[in-house]
Structure 1
């Protein structure tokens, strides 16, 4: 959510700032802007895409050795040029990600001192607050430090000042920010992808850190002003990993990267590997010992992964599992139990609600925590006792695809590890599960080969305004994920139900204009699902059924069947969701929506 790029170098940084913003577009935004120092402070802003900002910069002939840039996702104030960042206070410019919870009291105090506000944002209060500190603390670094000590909420900020043109100041709490160490300068950004153009050497700032950037040096300090060393990492990402390549959209690219992503995630069991708690870290045997229940905390797509895992954990490992929406969990009184394994799931590892829920669970005494995440140095990974890095690679499209399926792979390994610890996994079963996991990339590739048939389906119902998704058992969450994908990127209103719930209300919506998409694996609930599908046909509803081989659901008028390549038992949800991802993608293409950057949404949700 939002993106920051800061640069100070020996060469012109404007192209670096703009390219960095382009690489951060996936995070979601509705306006963009930049400010540079070249004798005086120059600011450009656009209530639109980064491409529009680049045109303005080109028309202005902008060139400078130091600058800050930002993409904004509106929180305080409507999307507009007036509310776009950077915000200025008498020659001082600020960009900011996050939400300042006490900005209204800060604003009132500053207005009483004569400061005039031109926007509706909380960020402008930061700019004026820092400027006010300069009256008694002439050093810019100290002024930023004192100002951030008064801020409540989440922030990552970049600061420039006309009066101090040879350095930039950055700070973070709650929102991600990292430094880039280049040969020609120093940089900061919300995401490594923005800096791959200039360096792979990065420093991940911790909560509360402030950093001063000069052309040939940097220093990091704590909120009390004391210096601190942070480790320099060499990013494993390559510039090619975040390029579109042969694909039309990042979402399409990431759907088709899933065989490789699953192979990478499951590398530890390739060949002669076996199921082991050590997949989750050296302390895992100690943490897993005595676990009597599992609590999964997640949001959005990751929440759906947790719902699938609940079926696995209870049926295979014999462990009770509760799955909660992270944004709701910490706002109700719950009953903590020390023998609970708390599993938090997040693609970015910076999801504000999930991070807060993890901290809340730990504060309640539930310290057996595991993070399933795609970003090794993220806040959630650092906070948890154990971690499993999914190795999906960078996911640029806002609608999650390969992050979801690699989360499912991680949760399947967790299920089998706990089952083995509990004596519920025989050698024969372990061998069968390992074989199925190793075969997943091949099975996924076969599903991807169904794309032409799925595309034809998308053409048929993309003109509809509503859709209903049905599933049963462990495929009900997959129906939920399919509905989420369709509404995210095609803007077709879609809902998902456990198929047995049809007659308890949703059946009233079914008619010839309400397509019904059903997930129909050849499992123990298939006959029940067939009865539910008959209920739809009896009301004139048109069915689109993703059926396993052997499901024996005949195609007829109003009943369209797509046969999946093979039945995959416990791991069947992984295959079925890929078909639903393709369906949503092609429906969005027909409707002409912005597939990778759907309206009103952000990739990394770093505010509550």
Structure 2
């Protein structure tokens, strides 16, 4: 078992020890920052905060650093929540510092205590991650998502963690057959699950050097569906608020030649997922990480050394 696989399959004890911050309340606006995986996690958390009645917007760290006026009206002083595994991603660190200089309160979610990001934060939420995690974000992504969603009121206990473990075990054995011969992967997720769909697409792309796409489920009909054929796998993360419409979409996509991996909705591979959209977001993430590993293995690629990538993106 390579280190990537270990960091995926052995992440659950770290979940059990993750921070449980108090849920946010009130009408104060929140801007959630991140880069890459951290940005997609921030998207899911922002959606969950909005559902909980707490105004929130996810913005890439580089955008908040250089174009903050494009995302909040002039004079707005939001609470900034910065997500970064290493706490050293240049754009996120600089954006946090600039936020403080503008008089904005900053909270850091990071897996590295004492990192640069923590020196530009008023509050730090620290989550130690799997020691063998390498370039690809696995356990750390799940931990930041779990902790971030708790800010939106997520309830996620040991029963939920056991369900995520069982889902991962099932998925690991079932994925090879459904992905065989397929080269085009599309991830679909609505609401709180859209950021997770984007993260699933990113994981598979960077781990297996495979072309991927991510969309809101119903939006996929509007143009992108033209690429669907017998080489396509659709990964649909079903939202409990739109199951019927998504089940209809599955039928349409299968009729065009796609194989469908349905998380919480019937497909060529059906994976049972229960709970709220927030709970599902956490539960499915390790299985999506495993999908990237399975596709990489099918292509003979080493996920401990993905092409052109480094563990921390820093800019001189």
- Both proteins in one fold, TM over 0.5: yes
Rounded Cα–Cα distance in structure 2 between residues aligned with 1:528 and 1:350 = 42
How far residue 304 of structure 1 moved from its aligned partner, in angstroms, is: 1.0
1:454 to 174, 198, 211: 174
How far residue 544 of structure 1 moved from its aligned partner, in angstroms, is: 2.1
Rounded Cα–Cα distance in structure 2 between residues aligned with 1:546 and 1:456 = 16
Rounded Cα–Cα distance in structure 1 between residues aligned with 2:212 and 2:22 = 39
1:601 — aligned with what?
309
Rounded Cα–Cα distance in structure 1 between residues aligned with 2:138 and 2:185 = 20
1:465 — aligned with what?
183
Q: Conserved in 1, the CA contact under 8 Å of 2:127 and 2:143?
A: yes
Rounded Cα–Cα distance in structure 1 between residues aligned with 2:277 and 2:86 = 29
Post-superposition Cα deviations, 1:431-450, rounded to whole Å, max 9, x if no partner, equal: xx54x334333222222321
Q: Conserved in 2, the CA contact under 8 Å of 1:479 and 1:496?
A: yes
Matched position secondary structure for 2:128? coil
Matched position secondary structure for 2:176? helix
How far residue 276 of structure 1 moved from its aligned partner, in angstroms, is: 3.5
- Flag the 1:346–1:399 CA change in 2: closer, same or farther, 3 A: same
Post-superposition Cα deviations, 1:326-349, rounded to whole Å, max 9, x if no partner, equal: 122222251455541100000000
Residues 483-522 of structure 1 mapped to structure 2, 5 A cutoff: 483-521=201-239
Matched position secondary structure for 1:376? coil
**Aligned pairs, number:** 313
Higher helix share: 2
Post-superposition Cα deviations, 1:401-447, rounded to whole Å, max 9, x if no partner, equal: 1111111121122223xxxxxxxxxxxxxxxx54x334333222222
Q: Conserved in 1, the CA contact under 8 Å of 2:172 and 2:290?
A: no
- Flag the 1:438–1:392 CA change in 2: closer, same or farther, 3 A: same
Matched position secondary structure for 2:268? strand
Rounded Cα–Cα distance in structure 2 between residues aligned with 1:503 and 1:451 = 27
1:439 — aligned with what?
159
Higher relative contact order (CA 8 A, sep 6+): 2
Q: Conserved in 2, the CA contact under 8 Å of 1:293 and 1:320?
A: yes
Q: Conserved in 2, the CA contact under 8 Å of 1:259 and 1:440?
A: no
2:50 — aligned with what?
314
Q: Which runs of 4+ in 1 moved over 4 A?
A: 288-291, 336-339
Rounded Cα–Cα distance in structure 1 between residues aligned with 2:162 and 2:179 = 30
- The alignment status of 1:346 with 2:84, answered yes or no, reads yes
Rounded Cα–Cα distance in structure 2 between residues aligned with 1:380 and 1:394 = 20
Matched position secondary structure for 2:17? helix
Rounded Cα–Cα distance in structure 2 between residues aligned with 1:398 and 1:520 = 29
Matched position secondary structure for 1:489? helix
How far residue 358 of structure 1 moved from its aligned partner, in angstroms, is: 1.1
Q: Conserved in 1, the CA contact under 8 Å of 2:182 and 2:230?
A: no
How far residue 455 of structure 1 moved from its aligned partner, in angstroms, is: 3.7
1:141 — aligned with what?
none
Rounded Cα–Cα distance in structure 1 between residues aligned with 2:238 and 2:38 = 22
- The alignment status of 1:303 with 2:20, answered yes or no, reads no
Rounded Cα–Cα distance in structure 1 between residues aligned with 2:108 and 2:180 = 37
Q: Conserved in 2, the CA contact under 8 Å of 1:251 and 1:595?
A: yes
Gaps of 5+ in 2: none
2:269 to 522, 542, 561: 561
TM-score norm. by structure 2 comes to: 0.91
1:331 to 54, 66, 73: 66
- Flag the 1:537–1:395 CA change in 2: closer, same or farther, 3 A: same
Q: Conserved in 2, the CA contact under 8 Å of 1:395 and 1:402?
A: no
Pairwise CA RMSD: 2.2
Rounded Cα–Cα distance in structure 2 between residues aligned with 1:590 and 1:290 = 48
Higher strand share: 1
Matched position secondary structure for 1:492? coil
- Flag the 1:391–1:467 CA change in 2: closer, same or farther, 3 A: same
Gaps of 5+ in 1: 1-247, 270-274, 278-287, 417-432, 554-558
Residues 251-262 of structure 1 mapped to structure 2, 5 A cutoff: 251-262=4-15
How far residue 297 of structure 1 moved from its aligned partner, in angstroms, is: 0.9
How far residue 532 of structure 1 moved from its aligned partner, in angstroms, is: 2.2
Matched position secondary structure for 1:397? coil
2:241 — aligned with what?
524
1:540 — aligned with what?
257
- The structure having more radius of gyration, on CA atoms, is 1
- Flag the 1:497–1:290 CA change in 2: closer, same or farther, 3 A: closer
- Flag the 1:543–1:447 CA change in 2: closer, same or farther, 3 A: closer
Q: Conserved in 2, the CA contact under 8 Å of 1:397 and 1:596?
A: yes
Matched position secondary structure for 2:59? strand
Q: Conserved in 1, the CA contact under 8 Å of 2:186 and 2:201?
A: yes
Rounded Cα–Cα distance in structure 1 between residues aligned with 2:27 and 2:106 = 11
Rounded Cα–Cα distance in structure 2 between residues aligned with 1:415 and 1:580 = 23
